[in-house]
Structure 1
Amino acid sequence: MAVYTELAAEALEAFLGTYDIGALVAFQSIAEGVENSNFLLQTTEGKFILTLFERRVKASDLPWFLGLMQHLSGKGMNCPQPVQAKDGIALRVLADRPAAITTFLPGQAVLQITASACHALGQVLATFHKLGQDYTAERPNGLSVEAWRPLLESCQGSGDDLLPGLTQELSDALSRIEKSWPAAGSLPRGQIHADLFPDNVFFQGDQVSGLIDFYFACTDLFAYDLAICLNAWCFRDEKIFEPAFAHAMIEGYESVRNLEVAEKEALPVLCQGASIRFLLTRLYDWINTPADALVTRKDPLAYLGRLRHFSGVAHV
């Protein structure tokens, strides 16, 4: 989450007049994340999240995202539900941006990642994969392996300003990953979240209370979704790999859905792919985020250590 577009209270009040969710009491910007403009709304009926879609999100993809959330919620998963306006339409326009209001989920992100939290995350990830199987509409992953080299090239060597030699190191890593990436149809696939970082998972006590931020969700390999989580959750202080965390996550996942042997064998290269995907998008954002945007930029080099780690292991 982030804020690129500021809102005036008068414009927001007029917008809320098209809904039956009460009158505006207060609202505040949410600075976490890097993709869309987000606001926490307090109305006379409760709390809601308003999102203005920007940057990488295509307006044509938004009905798919909102439909996936509605589908998962209908299956019993705790995730934001799109709120329909009085005319029955959830996707609208505000400040010349596509916009949607979703329900507010209770809970909070973990303050310190533990093996127990990783186990719970593995369970909910596998549940997500199973519940999404009969959401049959597909959305290709626009940030999969085919997109990474063009993304690196678009940075025009700027990574070397952060670390001398970074561009060549990433180019070499991409060559290895592209050569070893699983062939189409070789591994189980379906709907994946593709961005299940700790700040997108809410807990109440030791239990996951909900998942948020579905705007990178797509149709891709289940094991790649797990690889993203292994990257995001299993490095203490974003530097030191914690085998106990990875073991707990995979154990939690397999308590709901068993991984195939081929998925386990592919995990090292999938983890390398997840490392380089987030390194490259962070690098791109580091270079291109407007100086006046209310946004928390993420350090690209935090994922270089992950890439190096997974490049040197035979199994996760």
Structure 2
Amino acid sequence: MAVYTHVSAEALAAFLARYDHGELVSAKGIAEGVENSNYMVDTTRGRFILTLYEKRVDLADLPFFFAMLDHLAERGNPVPRALTDRTGVAIQQLEGRPACLIEFLPGVSVSHPNTAQAFATGAAMGHMHESLVDFTGERSNSLGPDGWTALLARCGHDLDAIESGLFDHVSAALERVLAAWPYDLPRGVIHADLFPDNVLMLGDRVGGLIDFYFACTDIRAWDLAVMHSAWSFDASGGTVDRAIGAALVEGYVSHFPLSDAERAALPVLARGACIRFLLTRAWDWLNTPADALVTRKDPLAYLRRLNTYDQMGETLFQ
């Protein structure tokens, strides 16, 4: 979440008038995240999230995301659905952007998850994958391995402005990962971005899974590897917690099985996750507008993770 587009109080009040969810009381921009403009909106009838879609989100993909969320909610997953106005329309226009009013879910995103929270989140991902087995929607992964080489080229040697030699380092790592990529593993619809800040905790229980705007059809175990790379390290990427990683995997398999081939592939999938997030963070670091209300994320935190996976590899998944 972030804020790129300013929404005036007058425009927001007129927007809310299309719904039966009360009159505007207050709205506050949310700086976390990097993809869309988001506001916490309080009305006379409750609290909601307003999202204006920017940058990487294609308007044509929104029906896929909303159908996925409805499918998950119907099967008991704690996910936020898009709300429709009085005429049944979910996708609106606000300040020149596609916009939606989204259900608010209770809970807090934890900065330092414990093993119980990691287990619960792994289980929530397993439940999500189980629920999506019969979901018929499909969306290609524009930020999957087939796109990393092009993204690296777009960043180019500007990467060396972040750290000397970074372009060559990432180029060599990407070549190794692509050569070992397990394209034949089971596929399904996945979240693809289940970081701690996309999970709302109520104590040690998951209260909500949010921000599904990278959801796509890809290798299921890739989703678990992305989560492992995000949860098992401190914010700097310099310290790894094996117990957190183990709890994630244990929670996942409590709801959805992992084959021997999927388990064996987790190290290379995790290295791929590091390259993916290093490159997208680097692109945002180099290209985020100076006046955007957005917290840029350090791409080098994923270089440190990548180095750890290279050094410790399989031992982190045993």
**Residue number in structure 1 paired with 2:34:** 34
Deviations 1:10-58 (A, max 9, x none): 1111111111111111111000000100001101110000000000001
Q: Secondary structure at the match of 1:22?
A: coil
Over residues 213-248 of structure 1, what are the superposed CA-to-partner deviations in whole Å (9 max), with x where a residue is unaligned? 111111111100000000000013431111111111
Tell me the TM-score normalized by structure 1.
0.97
Deviation at residue 151 of structure 1 after TM alignment: 0.6
Map of 1:188 onto structure 2: 186
Aligned residue identity for 2:248: M
Residues 107 and 209, structure 1, Cα contact 8 Å, conserved in 2: yes
Amino acid at match of 1:100: C
The aligned counterpart of 1:263 is 262
2:9 aligned with 1:9, yes or no? yes
Conserved? CA contact 1:35–1:54, under 8 Å: yes
Q: Distance in 1 between matches of 2:274 and 2:311?
A: 13
Q: Secondary structure at the match of 1:306?
A: helix
Aligned residues: 314
Alpha-carbon RMSD: 1.0
Q: Which of 68-77 and 269-278 deviates more?
A: 68-77
Q: Secondary structure at the match of 1:191?
A: strand
Q: How far apart, CA to CA, are the structure 1 residues paired with 2:171 and 2:60?
A: 32
Aligned to 2:73: 73
Structure 2 partner of 1:110: 110
Residue aligning to 2:155: 155
One-letter amino acid of the structure 2 residue matched with residue 74 of structure 1: E
Contact 2:112 2:234 in 1 (8 A): no
Q: Matched residues in 2 for 1:286 and 1:110: separation?
A: 24
Partner of 1:201: 199
What is the rounded CA distance, in whole Å, between the counterparts of 1:66 and 1:137 in structure 2? 11
Question: Per-residue displacement from partner, 1:127-168 (whole Å, max 9, x unpaired)?
Answer: 110111111110011100011111111012111112111100
What runs of 5+ residues in structure 1 fail to find an aligned partner? none
- Counterpart amino acid of 1:255? S
Aligned partners of 1:227 and 1:267 also within 8 Å: yes
Q: TM-score, normalised by structure 2?
A: 0.97
Aligned to 2:58: 58
Aligned partners of 1:154 and 1:298: how far apart in 2?
19
Give the whole-Å Cα distance in 2 for the aligned partners of 1:267 and 1:91: 37
Aligned to 1:127: 127
Deviation readout 1:88-122 (Å, 9 max, x if unpaired) = 01111111111111110011112421111111111
User: Could you tell me how far apart the structure 1 residues matched to 2:198 and 2:132 are?
Assistant: 18
2:277 aligned partner, one-letter code: F
User: Is residue 98 of structure 2 the alignment partner of residue 98 of structure 1?
Assistant: yes
Instruction: Give the share of equivalent positions with the same residue, in percent.
Output: 50
Consecutive unaligned residues of structure 2, counting only runs of 5 or more, are none
Q: Is the 8 A contact 1:268 1:313 kept in 2?
A: no
Name the aligned partner's letter for residue 123 of structure 1. A
Secondary structure of the 2:157 match is: coil
The range that moved more, 113-122 or 172-181, is 113-122
Structure 1 residues 252-291: aligned runs within 5 Å: 252-291=251-290
1:161 and 1:104 map into 2 onto residues whose CA distance is 39
- Asked if residue 20 in structure 1 is aligned to residue 20 in structure 2, the reply is yes
Q: Identify the residue that residue 248 of structure 1 maps to in structure 2.
A: 247
The counterpart of 1:212, out of the listed 210, 213, 221, is 210
The 2-side partners of 1:275 and 1:314 are apart by 13
After TM superposition, give the deviation of residue 63 of structure 1 in Å.
Answer: 0.7
